[in-house]
A = this chain, B = another copy of it.
Amino acid sequence: MAGAEWESLEQCLEKNLPLADLREVKRILYGKETRELHLPSGAFEAASKGDFELRGYGFEAAEEQQRRPRIVRVGLVQNRTPLPADTPVVKQVTALHRRIEAITEVAATCGVNIICFQEAWTMPFAFCTRERLPWTEFAESAEDGPTIRFCQELARKHDMVVVSPILERDAEHGDVLWNTAVVISNSGAILGKTRKNHIPRVGDFNESTYYMEGNLGHPVFQTQFGRIAVNICYGRHHPLNWLMYSVNGAEIIFNPSATVGALSCGCESCTLHPPWRPAGKMLYSSRSSTVCLISENVIDGESLWPIEARNAAIANHCFTCAINRVGEERFPNEFTSGDGKKAHRDFGYFYGSSYVAAPDGSRTPGLSRNQDGLLVTELDLNLCRQVNDIWGFKMTGRYEMYAQELAEAVKPNYSPNIVKE
């Protein structure tokens, strides 16, 4: 009933709450109800055969006189790495290409116009190891690597914009690595690339070992279906990152991520029963001497997941698409996590739960916590400006004041505005 086996918040609420309560709970938790999207039955059959979840939702906007509805369907893909991390690199990449090809095929039958895959989707999230080979061999050129060529084919075949987050090898600039998303037009042309602007140094996310903060600013890509941007993973914790994409005109901001839930605290109980694989109720009987509920110095990131991308949709009058990978990834060599825990080989539990949030603060239910999935969501982009006109956070944003205050605050001799008695 908990941990990895626990399917989703929504499923649990739907199973247990009386209908009237369920509606009120959903209203408070999710805002205005999203419409269920009618998707072709063949798509559900293909998803079932391919062993992945398929869900569809739609957000509405008011009718306008001067603009037609600007309807776009986005597809969010979450998945496990199909092969173990010690399989040869090329085999792993090929298996991932095949998996994504199959899911994208279904997305096409669902009318998806823009698809986005998870962060560094062609590889296991191996940065916890701090090892170089073979992990750096997953890096590719963002201009003509095999994955980009593969995505260009998908884009052309399905008339679909493809957002492909990869580990980039930049041969033109000292052969360095970047955490990059390549945006491919539905024509098959590479529209451009964007890089992860904020790099974590948290727990197993040793990414600063491999690549630096992005140097491409906050580009927004004008596609045939709307203006999109990509805020990669840890950048979702930084409200200014979302803001600058929005200031540059993004109507949809994708947030391809790789994030795990509660980590073990290193106590004996946790080591025996990692929190993401709890043994019955044990780990939840907090404050006993022999068992613990994710102890003091560990943070349960899963409770943040529903908050941050959704807050960004609200604050910036745009749609945000939060995508996480699924499952456990095990590595050949032991590594430690800087948390007092014994050396181990697994990276915790990627809890899926991908979702879309709208500018009015409403959101779709999440995909499963433990299954591959495709979330198809129909947006009317007119909602962005409509909410902007109602709430006016940009109009009332006072950015000039903040530009000045921030410019002051970063000076080495800045004296914070603290009032004392």
Given contacts A16-B16, A202-B390, contact A410 B418 (CB under 8 A): no
Q: Does A272 contact B (CB under 8 A)?
A: no
Bound state CA distance, A253 and B392, in angstroms? 23
Contacts of A362 in B (CB 8 A): 300, 303
Interface string of A319-354 (1 = CB under 8 A from B): 000000000000000000000000000000000000
A181-221 to B contact mask, C-beta < 8 Å, 1/0 = 00101010101100001111111000000000100011111
A387 at the interface (CB under 8 A from B): yes
A203 vs chain B, min Cβ distance (A): 8
CB distance from A226 to the nearest CB of B (A): 12
Partner-binding segment picked from A47-55, A77-85, A115-123, A393-401: A393-401
Cβ contact within 8 Å between B238 and A397: yes
Chain A: number of interface residues, binned into ranges: 35 or more
| Residues A187 and B418 in contact in the complex (CB < 8 Å), given A18-B16, A299-B361, A409-B247 | no
Whether, in the assembled complex, A102 has its beta carbon less than 8 Å from a beta carbon of chain B, the answer is no
CA distance A360 to B304 in the complex (A): 9
How far apart sit A27 and B221, CA to CA, in the bound complex (Å)? 37
Q: Are A398 and B198 in contact (CB under 8 A)?
A: yes
Q: Is the CB–CB distance between A27 and B419 below 8 Å?
A: no
B416 touching A249, Cβ below 8 Å: yes
Nearest Cβ in chain B — how far from A212, in angstroms?
11
A133 contacts chain B at the CB level, 8 A cutoff = no
Q: Are B248 and A302 in contact (CB under 8 A)?
A: no
Copies in the complex: 2
Cα–Cα distance between A403 and B284 once the two chains are bound (Å): 44
Chain B residues closer than 8 Å to A244, beta-carbon distance: 402, 405-406, 409
Q: Which residues on the B side are within 8 Å of A24 (C-beta)?
A: 1-2, 6, 12
CB pair B28 A21 closer than 8 Å: no
Tell me whether B20 and A17 are in contact (CB under 8 A).
Answer: no
Interchain CB contact under 8 A, B201 and A396: yes
State whether the Cβ of A33 lies closer than 8 Å to any Cβ in chain B: yes
Contacts A31-B300, A202-B390, A392-B202 given; indicate if A398 touches B213 (C-beta within 8 A): yes
Minimal Cβ-Cβ distance residue in B for A222? B420
Q: How far is the CB of A229 from chain B (nearest CB, A)?
A: 9
Is A12's CB under 8 angstroms from B32's CB? Answer: no
Min CB distance A298 to B, Å, is 9
Contacting pair B248 A239 (CB below 8 A)? no
| Chain B CB within 8 A of A296 CB | yes
Contact (Cβ within 8 A) A221 B28? no
A390 CB → nearest B CB, Å: 6
B417:A217 contact, CB within 8 angstroms = yes
The reply to whether A403 and B399 form a contact with Cβ atoms under 8 Å apart is no
Given the known inter-chain contacts A2-B20, A311-B308, please indicate yes or no for A27 contacting B300, CB distance below 8 A. yes
B residues near A243, Cβ cutoff 8 Å: 239-240, 402
Find out whether the CB atom of A314 lies under 8 angstroms from the CB atom of B32.
no
**Closest chain B residue to A307, Cβ basis:** B311
Does A306 reach chain B (CB closer than 8 Å)?
yes
Given contacts A12-B17, A31-B300, A62-B297, are A284 and B23 in contact (CB under 8 A)?
yes
Q: Does A150 sit at the interface, judged by CB under 8 A?
A: no
| Residue among A183, A234, A386, A419 with max Cβ neighbours from chain B (10 Å) | A419
Chain B: which residue is nearest A405 at the CB level?
B244
Question: Does A13 have its Cβ within 8 Å of any Cβ on chain B?
Answer: yes
List 12 A-B pairs, Cβ < 8 Å. Answer: A1-B21, A19-B281, A23-B284, A27-B302, A29-B306, A219-B418, A227-B418, A239-B239, A244-B402, A303-B361, A304-B314, A307-B307
For residue A23, which residues in chain B have a CB less than 8 angstroms away from its CB? 2, 281, 284
Bitwise interface map of A from 6 to 17 toward B, beta carbon under 8 Å scored 1, else 0: 100100110011
| Residue of B202, B217, B387 touching A299 (CB-CB under 8 A) | B387
Residue ID in chain B nearest A215 by CB atoms: B401
In the complex, A158 has a CB within 8 A of chain B? no
On whether the beta carbons of A307 and B296 are closer than 8 Å, the reply is no
